[in-house]
Structure 1
Amino acid sequence: MASYVVMEPPREGPENAALVRDGFAFLAFVIPFLWFLWHRMWIEAALAFAAALLLGALGTLEGWQTASSVMSLCLSVLIGLEARNLRVAMLRRRGWRERGVVEADNMADAELRFLSDFSAGNAAPIDEMPIAPDRRAMSGASSVRGDTGPALGLFTYPGAR
């Protein structure tokens, strides 16, 4: 089963929501510039094009052909892995709200599940959901280290020191 992030437009109803599948984007791996343009991600497309030009120019230098090819492959893999997360971030920048996450086998099933939950009244926007209180704040305990937040995908957990 795949996970789909449900993004709701700023001034429209949830029936116009976009579902973004979580996972590897093969077309973004193969042709990242065109994938970004197709999804109207102009900044990301410009950065991908500039990186391709830079790596291509690096490949013309004596002794840098192999390094340029390896770096280009690594960049393509990274773009393939992160393209859908970049799309969700782009939608957030444009004012879309994250409505939730739906698990389904394909896009049609995900849309049906989301719309059935919405019509039943079970789908509240994630932005409006209550946040659980921090246990340290309730117990009066203070942290020895200051909370610095997530770093490179490593997240802090409430109550962990």
Structure 2
Amino acid sequence: MAVYVVMEPPGRGEKPDVTFVRDGFSWLGFLVSPLWLLWHRLWIEAALAFVAMALLSMLAEGLSLGLAGPLLSLLVSLYVGLEGQALRIAALRRRGWHEWGVVEANRLDDADTRYVLEAEAQADEQAPVPRIVPDAAHARPTHMGIALGLNHTPGRP
């Protein structure tokens, strides 16, 4: 079963357009790291990954390390494969999105269904219950002040 992190946009309306980020290893992020980062609009991270891969390859070629150059570039790809989804979540947080929670599901459609059901259940629990008898705290004045007797009338010395 996969774990999806549910991210909600900053301006929440009646039905927010949420994003589901699958937590785990990203094979496409591993195989084509800079392209995967560009696809998910992680511009700075894509540029850094491309520059790091190029510098490591040039360094290994300049030092005549042979097979070590591609292996060093493979470390960058491995990092993007392992931490790519966390980079996506961090980018969404920087844009003002907030994390609603985590949903476990086999597929993205099932995750969407579970999110809707759990969000409705939470909304029902958080709805204020109308009171038949008014609360006694609302009947009292908010600031009692100093009084020299058994009772105090607000606004009168």
Give the length in aligned residue pairs: 124
Preserved contact between residue 3 and residue 102 of structure 1 (Cα < 8 Å)? yes
Residues 37-116 of structure 1 aligned to structure 2 (within 5 Å)? 37-116=38-117
Residues 30-88 of structure 1: per-residue CA shift (max 9 Å, x gap): 11111111111111011011112112212322422222222112221111000001100
Preserved contact between residue 27 and residue 80 of structure 1 (Cα < 8 Å)? yes
Amino acid of the structure 2 residue aligned with 1:33: P
Separation in structure 2 between the aligned mates of residue 85 and residue 123 of structure 1, nearest angstrom: 31
TM superposition shift of 1:12? 3.1
Separation in structure 1 between the aligned mates of residue 94 and residue 124 of structure 2, nearest angstrom: 22
Q: Please name the residue that 2:12 is paired with.
A: 12
Preserved contact between residue 57 and residue 72 of structure 2 (Cα < 8 Å)? no
Preserved contact between residue 117 and residue 123 of structure 1 (Cα < 8 Å)? no
Separation in structure 2 between the aligned mates of residue 102 and residue 36 of structure 1, nearest angstrom: 24
Preserved contact between residue 24 and residue 82 of structure 2 (Cα < 8 Å)? yes
Query: Which runs of no fewer than 5 residues in structure 2 stay unpaired?
Result: 126-157
Q: Please name the residue that 1:3 is paired with.
A: 3
SS at match of 2:12: coil
Preserved contact between residue 7 and residue 100 of structure 1 (Cα < 8 Å)? yes
Preserved contact between residue 10 and residue 96 of structure 1 (Cα < 8 Å)? yes
Amino acid of the structure 2 residue aligned with 1:45: A
Larger radius of gyration: 2
Preserved contact between residue 6 and residue 99 of structure 1 (Cα < 8 Å)? yes
Amino acid of the structure 1 residue aligned with 2:12: E
SS at match of 1:16: coil
Query: Which runs of no fewer than 5 residues in structure 1 stay unpaired?
Result: 125-161
